[in-house]
Amino acid sequence: MESASQLRKTLKDLFRSQRLGVLATYGRRQPYSSLVAFAATNDLKYLVFATTRATRKYANLSMESQVALLVDNRSNQDTDFHRAIAVTALGKAEEVKESERDRFLTLYLAKHPYLEEFVNAPTCALLKVSVDRYYMVKRFQNVMELHMRR
Amino acid sequence: MNPVIPLDQIQDEDRDRVGGKAFSLARMVRSHVNVPHAICINTEAYNHYITSTGLRERVLFELNRKSFDEIRWEEMWDASLRIRNMFLNTPIPAELLATLTRAIDSRFSERAVVVRSSAPGEDSAKASFAGLHESYVNVRGTDSILEHIRLVWASLWSDAALLYRQELGLDVERSTMAVVVQEIVIGDRSGVVFGKNPNDPSQAVIEAVYGLNQGLVDGTVEPDRWILDRKTGQIISYTPAHRAKAVFPVREGVQLKQLPSAKLNTPPLDHSNIAQIFDHALAAETLFGEPQDMEWTFKGDMLYVIQSRPITTGLTGDSGDKRSWCLGLRRSFENLKELRRKIEGELIPAMVEEAAQLSRQDLKKLSESELLDEIKRRAAIYDKWLDVYWNEFIPFAHGARLFGQVYNDAVHPSDPYEFMDLLGATGMESLKRNRMLEDMASMIRENPHLAEALRNGKTGADGEFDKALDTFVNIFGDLFRDMAESKEQYSAITGLLLEMAGQSVAQRPFQPKDIESLERNFLSRFEGEKKAEAAELLDLARTSYQLRDDDNIHLGRIKGKMLAGIEEVKRRIEERPSDGVKTRELARLLKDPQYILKEHASADQPETDYRIKARQIVGQPAGPGIARGKARVIADPSDVFGFNGGEILVCDAVDPTMTFVVPLSAGIVERRGGMLIHGAIIAREYGLPCVTGVPDATSLIHTGDQLTVDGYLGIVIIGKTVDSSISVHGSTLAAL
């Protein structure tokens, strides 16, 4: 089994290799998933994504800020069953504060430079997920948890 | 697709799809060497079979359950057995089947054949991979040939191949297998020739036996041996064999039989035969451009070459490589029969006698220096038996494996471990012990007065119970020395009995399976001599299975005697209160020299910002069923005494000293993997859900953790689960 440091490395490698993740929000007694472009902080404590404020996910977030974000490296092949890694992050999503905006925006645009116009639009919100824990699934059935201390 | 190529039509560009063996045979045919007729079922057939049936993914799945670094040899054997069963239970797709049937029918009809592996790259590899893949001699009839082709395909994933997967470059997505179906030549004398002696480049070596080559190749028949001068062909030396038996074909397959008396004293080859074989070796060397390792057979005066490959260095040369020892565990039936005679006739009685002798000695009467000498002597005795354990008892366990393979080949069960039910080890020592415990527990259950007295630490409340307890400690007390000092033994055992008495009797019903009909069904697949052989193998496997458990008990007794010496030292030290030696530490060190190392090994520094936790760990399913309960992790032998009914036993390896809590437990989780290991055997016997081969089980799981043991899929889930989500039929456990 992996040590905590190996696990963290696996997570960082995965987050570096993937641009998109599936964000799960909840509102009106109904879960809702959306594909979002994300970026992770180096200490793995935050995941950052952007959305316009008119979206369903934003509406959901204003009612329930607890979210799940799934990031995986599947390739739609049979080998996914033993090769793919899927990570689910659980945590609380909220808009970044003005004081943090520069830091998170730089991080986000370093990974997604083509989204500059989008993120800077007045209607767009930059959000951070403060991760409480990660669930990592490898080899189809092996599940490890990484709990973050704050 | 053209999956069949006759030997004489194989061209240079076919090399990769016919494999090394077929390619060499084809070149010899073109050079007019006398090679028996053969066809090659090329790799396209294998590829089509595993792709169109979905087998490729299933093999991938099986081999990727966990990292290869964490898989023990026994688990590789298990994986290999499961894969083999997948092949046995997966029919060849209709179109391919029709093509193969036509080719085999028209070539061989009812004539017997040899079905051989011909893996691409196998013969050109630097190391010799002989014996990693299967070949089957004397197979008759199209259906049987087709089945054996599947077995040869499956042997691409044999335990030995998995062990040497790196050298072989074994890769589920790329590796493939061709098969040679060759008309059998029933030679009366057979053997091998090495065109160049691996130990002396100026020499050649010829080995010969009567009958077929199989006895020589698998090591059951000792060959006559000639060393020749490579330049002149002159015989330099001759070593006759102790000739007794030889391998002959029977109706289907081959059998080791007594050699007729006329042949016992006659070498299988004369000088002109030797010259003829040597000439063939030289001709092959010219043809292939390097010295050859060639198998041949004489039918009357006619010499046939059966196969030829370059001489390569063996795989077993590296002394630091444990794998050759692992491969040495694969024993032939003959070898196992011999081992059984030795174990039953000599070793076990000697072990029992040794333990009895040690019991008769009164340690209290020895002087201090005598006592220390005695401890050393006992440690040496224990070491001696530990060697016997590794060198004789462990290999004998292969009896059960060999039977498993024969059973699966004959019966094609959907559960590859069905054969274990037939080995039902009801006579096992540990079960006998558990039954004694259960009897005592039921005395407590029926007598509240006795229960109350025991709870208050009082004895003498029930004479019959005291007698039973004394008998129990007399027979099995040594096994508890690891865990408790003698004065604590009684209270520890009564504590356990009270716990057992609190469990309802019906909790753990034995589920007698219809063993007789299983056995009848198995034996009905054989006829004549083969039937007798199958029955003999079953009997041997039962002994092997039972011994796999009993040997631990016998060895545990001897270890107990060694520890008794240490305990006596402790007792004497304790009687001298001025002595500052930490006796418990001392005793522990004497018992386990690794202890200090373990204690002082630097642990991973905890990382303060993170905490890692396993949620779900995959091992091997070793006992079907699902269990939920609190974990009881056995890190130290004495942890067993804290065991509460309904807990899940989590340990590195189930030790004979732990098995008495098995009836109390809801399930078993073991770090060590394998279906034929102690924990799995006991769990199967009690019908308990069991998962073995769980990496880092004892460090990732903690006593008190809520566990779910899925013995169907081989998964352990740590932490709370919603009851309704864990169902036997649902697939809600899949995590991805």
ipTM of the complex: 0.78
pLDDT score at B581: 47
pLDDT score at A92: 97
Residue B183 backbone zone (phi > 0: left; psi -120 to 50: alpha; other: beta): beta
Say which residue, B733 or B183, is predicted with more confidence. Answer: B183
Read off the pLDDT of each residue in B197-223 and give the average, rounded to a whole number: 88
Read off the pLDDT of each residue in B6-14 and give the average, rounded to a whole number: 92
CA B558/CA B556 separation, integer angstroms: 5
Whether the CB-CB separation of B634 and B477 falls below 8 Å is answered with: no
CA B658/CA B571 separation, integer angstroms: 25
Closest C-alpha to B221, from B264, B158, B279: B264
pLDDT score at A11: 95
pLDDT at B594 over 70: no
Q: Which residues of B touch A144 (CB under 8 A)?
A: 612-615
How sure is the predictor about B428, in pLDDT bands with cuts at 50, 70 and 90? Answer: low
How sure is the predictor about B728, in pLDDT bands with cuts at 50, 70 and 90? Answer: very low
Closest C-alpha to B423, from B341, B344, B515: B515
Q: How many helices (DSSP H) and strands (DSSP E) are in chain B? A: 28, 21
Share of chain A above pLDDT 70, in %: 99
Instruction: Note the pLDDT tens digit of each residue in B548-570.
Output: 777 877 888 888 888 888 888 87
**For B611, which of A82, A137, A147 is closest by C-beta distance?**
A147
Which of A127-141, B59-73, B366-380, B677-691 is modeled with the greatest confidence?
A127-141
Indicate yes or no: CB of B616 within 8 angstroms of CB of A81.
Answer: no
Indicate yes or no: CB of B61 within 8 angstroms of CB of A140.
Answer: yes
pLDDT score at B536: 93
Indicate yes or no: CB of B64 within 8 angstroms of CB of A82.
Answer: yes
pLDDT at B14 over 90: yes
Say which residue, A25 or B160, is predicted with more confidence. Answer: A25
Q: Is A140 on the interface with B (CB under 8 A)?
A: yes
pLDDT score at B430: 67
Q: Where is average pLDDT lowest: A97-101, B149-153, B351-355?
A: B351-355
CA B34/CA B81 separation, integer angstroms: 37
Q: Is A142 on the interface with B (CB under 8 A)?
A: yes
H-run or E-run covering B637? none
pLDDT score at A4: 80
**For A141, which of B604, B700, B715 is closest by C-beta distance?**
B715
pLDDT score at B555: 86
Q: Where is average pLDDT lowest: B456-460, B533-537, B713-717?
A: B456-460
Longest dimension (CA), chain A: 46
Mention every residue, 6+ apart, whose C-beta is less than 8 A from residue B732: B725, B726
Share of chain B above pLDDT 70, in %: 85
The first and second tokens of residue B167, run together, are 């050298």
Instruction: Note the pLDDT tens digit of each residue in B213-251.
Output: 888 887 788 899 999 999 999 999 999 988 888 998 887
Indicate yes or no: CB of B613 within 8 angstroms of CB of A144.
Answer: yes
Q: Which residues of A touch B616 (CB under 8 A)?
A: 137, 141-143
pLDDT at B370 over 90: no
Whether the CB-CB separation of B248 and B214 falls below 8 Å is answered with: no
Q: Which residues of B touch A79 (CB under 8 A)?
A: 60, 173
Core vs surface per residue B30-63: b (16+ CB within 10 A) or e: eeebebbbbbbbbbbbbbbbbeebebbbbbbbbb
Read off the pLDDT of each residue in B341-355 and give the average, rounded to a whole number: 92
Instruction: Give Rg (Cα) of chain B.
Output: 30
Bridge partners of A145, per DSSP, are A135, B613
pLDDT score at B86: 93
Whether the CB-CB separation of A81 and A140 falls below 8 Å is answered with: yes
Q: Chain A: give the shortest CA distance to residue B171, in Å.
A: 12
Bridge partners of B226, per DSSP, are B206, B238
Span between the terminal Cα atoms of chain A, in Å: 25
Mention every residue, 6+ apart, whose C-beta is less than 8 A from residue B179: B40, B41, B45, B46, B115, B116, B117, B118, B149, B152, B153
Q: Are strands B245-249 and B235-239 parallel, antiparallel or unpaired?
A: unpaired
Q: Where is average pLDDT lowest: B24-38, B111-125, B173-187, B471-485?
A: B471-485
How sure is the predictor about B479, in pLDDT bands with cuts at 50, 70 and 90? Answer: low
Helix (H, G, I), strand (E, B) or coil at B397: coil
pLDDT at B47 over 90: yes
pLDDT at B735 over 80: no
pLDDT score at B734: 35
pLDDT score at B487: 58
SS in 3 state form for B576-594? Answer: CCCCCCCHHHHHHHHHCCH
pLDDT score at B425: 52
Residues 24..63 of B with a Cβ closer than 8 Å to A: which? 56-57, 60-61
pLDDT at B598 over 60: no
**For A82, which of B61, B609, B734 is closest by C-beta distance?**
B61
**How many beta-carbon contacts under 8 Å exist across A and B?**
90
Helix (H, G, I), strand (E, B) or coil at B696: coil
Instruction: Note the pLDDT tens digit of each residue in A104-145.
Output: 999 999 999 999 989 998 899 999 999 999 999 998 888 999
Q: Are strands B626-634 and B648-651 parallel, antiparallel or unpaired?
A: parallel
Say which residue, A116 or B128, is predicted with more confidence. Answer: A116
Indicate yes or no: CB of B736 within 8 angstroms of CB of A135.
Answer: no
Core vs surface per residue A85-114: b (16+ CB within 10 A) or e: bbbbbbbebebbeeeeeeebbebbbebbee
Instruction: Note the pLDDT tens digit of each residue in A45-67.
Output: 999 999 999 899 999 999 999 99
Q: Which residues of B touch A142 (CB under 8 A)?
A: 66, 616-618, 735
Instruction: Note the pLDDT tens digit of each residue in B309-336.
Output: 888 655 444 445 667 666 666 778 888 9
The first and second tokens of residue B512, run together, are 């007698």
